[in-house]
Amino acid sequence: MTTEQTAAAGGIHITEKALEHVRAAMQKEGIAPEEGGLRLGVQGGGCSGLSYNIRFDTQPRERDRIFSFGDVRVFVDPKSFIYLNGMTVAWEETLMHRGFVFQNPNAKKSCGCGSSFS
């Protein structure tokens, strides 16, 4: 059974600018918002021990936590949620970087590229 929460309920947060890019990418990939969503996760690897995994999924899994941000849903598996609870996903555009940025209060340290943490 899935647990559905709104952005105000806590857990995972996504900035409005990041949501705009998620919506555009979902439309480009042909992912219907009422069925699919953005999957956030953690996997072993990277220069700091753990790395973020971000992709689209066509539907939530049985034990996923589901966060709704208007028409965008975010799926997080229970194991990843331990590391991602309280995280904010933002969109950054600078001269050096263009893409998603993970602001994770659970990270003790992170690598220079920002995609790996411990």
With beta carbons less than 8 A apart as the criterion, state whether 69 and 80 touch.
Answer: no
Does the residue 116 lie in any domain?
A: no
Measuring CA to CA, how many Å separate 75 from each of 47, 48, 62, 87, 106? 25, 24, 11, 13, 19
Average pLDDT over residues 72-81: 96
What's the DSSP call for residue 81?
Answer: H
Does the residue 25 lie in any domain?
A: yes
Does the residue 26 lie in any domain?
A: yes
CA pair distance 84, 60, nearest whole angstrom: 17
Average pLDDT over residues 69-90: 95
The predicted structure's pLDDT at residue 51:
86
Q: What is the mean pLDDT of the chain?
A: 84
- The range of the structural domain enclosing residue 31 comes to 3-108
Q: What is the CATH classification number for the domain harbouring 56?
A: 2.60.300.12
Does the residue 95 lie in any domain?
A: yes
Does the residue 118 lie in any domain?
A: no
Q: Which of 36, 38, 6 is nearest to 21 (CA)?
A: 38
The predicted structure's pLDDT at residue 8:
41
Greater pLDDT, 118 or 105: 105
